[in-house]
Amino acid sequence: MIKVGIPREVHLEEKRVAATPQTVMRLRKLGFEVGVESNAGDEIWCSDGAYKEAGAIVFDNVKELWSWADVILKVRPPEQHPKLGIHEADLLREGGWLISFIFPSQNKRLLEHLASRKATVFAMDGVPRITRAQKMDALSAMANIAGYRAVIEAASHFPRFFGGQMTAAGKIEPAKVLVVGAGVAGLSAIGTARSLGAIVRAFDPRSATRDQVRSLGAEFLEISIKEEGEGIGGYAKEMSEAFLQAEMALFAQQAMEVDIIITTALIPGKPAPKLITKGMVESMKPGSVIVDLAAEQGGNCAMTEPGKIVTHKGVTIIGYTDMPSRMASLASQLYGSTLVAMLEELFDKESGTLKVDYEDQVIRGALVVHEGKITYPPPVTPPSPEPGIPAKAIPAIAQANQVTSHETKQNVNPVWLLLAGLVLFLIGIVAPSSKLSHFTVFVLACFVGWQVIWNVKPALHTPLMSVTNAISGIIIVGGMLQLSGFEFNVTTILGAIAVFVATINIAGGFLVTNRMLAMFRK
């Protein structure tokens, strides 16, 4: 049985833990044996007893836990242990596995240290942002919390209401909020600020975020220079000098108008870009608030001090580096769930072992060290358009699709069209006149259905299900009309089959549609 160890986080002010009693039960159900360091869950109000009830073994000796476990699950990258005086990488047994946030582009020495231990290491921050990997996307889970918490922190320091009001003493204007960056954190901040009644504006160099921002009720700000900011993995890329100048001019104008600025701009592997200058801060109204979610990477505001709150000429600049940790219980549960999903992906049920599949885009993206060999960065491959299709097959599939499409359009054999027309003509002569109208409707339905369904992209098949419910409703009525009698013939048999098939389609369609709608319900 594979042994999974969860040590207590030693990073200063870190309250999260890599597993909660709920995720421990899920790991146990998968067949893992789980060990937890004593008092690991104190900051999320989970006692050692709660972990024991979930099936975990509680270790009082942290060294014993690290040497016992085959796989160590952590939140923060390994660092110097303050009580033991040794590095956590040295606590990992030789050849052991580690899954945690690593940030390999910023921690190259740590990679070398872990490689010297012959370790296999997965960086949860390296999970590619593709549809199939959503359940393992720990960065998005934490960013969602950070965006929400940023608005709450801003509200606690802002001296007015977020929403506008009409009172006996006069009218109160709603707060104006500018969100810079419309990624997961930015969209979460937009939604939270809008729910509090604020007027929200947002800017992002990626044009794909425009509709997302507007769907949340915010105004999407644009500049005159058209340049696409979409980078690798859904992140923003570095922009041209002309774009940056226009961007800074926009921020300078907005700083004089808005009350709260929330910045989320980050480029992987590089310091946070400086977007809010000292002059912009000084141009803001007294009582304004800036929340810098990029503080841990140096901050988007020139006056941000990581981990601190700074006040300059009446403007409060919040530079907390532990936003998710300020909601530690929820953050631990979400992060623990992504770790469980990662172990599910790695676990081979047939052999009962953990396996590294280099052909799996998700696993290869997260793998940074394998058996002592540094494997970061992963090879750049285009994302798979459909789950289950290996990345290396995409060029061949694309080429095949192009050939098929070309052949379909250019090489339709007219002989087949003549034969089909002849068959339909013969059926029209032979068929009784009472059945001919039904047959005509059937042929037209087949043709129209083929044109409607066959040319729809697979990604739209699920939404199309709700439309087919109405069509099936018509079919079931027609089938029921054919059953109005006691004669047992071909007509009643076909009518019964139509009713049965349409009923299945209606029931399944509504179930799928209801599940889709549930994703958007609060």
The residues annotated with a catalytic role in the active site are 129, 134, 137, 140, 235
Give the pair of three-digit tokens for residue 384: 């798979």
- Reduce the secondary structure of 17-71 to three states and give it as a string: CCCCHHHHHHHHHHCCEEEEECCCCHHHCCCHHHHHHCCCEEECCHHHHHHHCCE
Amino acid identity, position 219? E
Give the pair of three-digit tokens for residue 135: 């359940």
Q: What is the DSSP letter of 225?
A: S
The answer to whether the peptide bond before residue 385 is cis (omega within 30 degrees of 0) is no
Give the pair of three-digit tokens for residue 479: 């089938």
DSSP state string for 199-211: EEEEE-S-GGGHH
Do 190 and 200 meet the contact criterion of CB atoms below 8 Å apart? yes
Euclidean distance between the first and the last CA atom of the chain, given in angstroms as a whole number: 40
In 3D space, the residue among 267, 294, 286 whose CA is nearest the CA of residue 276 turns out to be 294
In 3D space, the residue among 234, 334, 301 whose CA is nearest the CA of residue 17 turns out to be 334
Give the pair of three-digit tokens for residue 87: 């590095």
- Report d(CA 184, CA 145) in Å as an integer: 9
Do 362 and 130 meet the contact criterion of CB atoms below 8 Å apart? yes
Per residue in 317-353, is it b (16+ CB within 10 Å) or e — as a string?
bbbbbbbbbbbbbbbbbbbbbbbbbbbebbbeeeeee
Q: What is the DSSP letter of 520?
A: T
Phi/psi-derived region of residue 258, left when phi > 0, alpha when psi is between -120 and 50, beta in every other case: beta
CA 379 to each of CA 104, 139, 235: distance values in angstroms, whole numbers, following the listed order = 15, 20, 17
In 3D space, the residue among 382, 337, 378 whose CA is nearest the CA of residue 104 turns out to be 378
Give the pair of three-digit tokens for residue 198: 């604020």
What residues have CB less than 8 Å from 390, skipping those under 6 apart? 359, 361, 384
Give the pair of three-digit tokens for residue 359: 């052909």
Angle between helices 138-157 and 184-195 (to 10 degrees): 40
- Report d(CA 183, CA 191) in Å as an integer: 12
User: H-helix or E-strand containing 347?
Assistant: strand 347-348
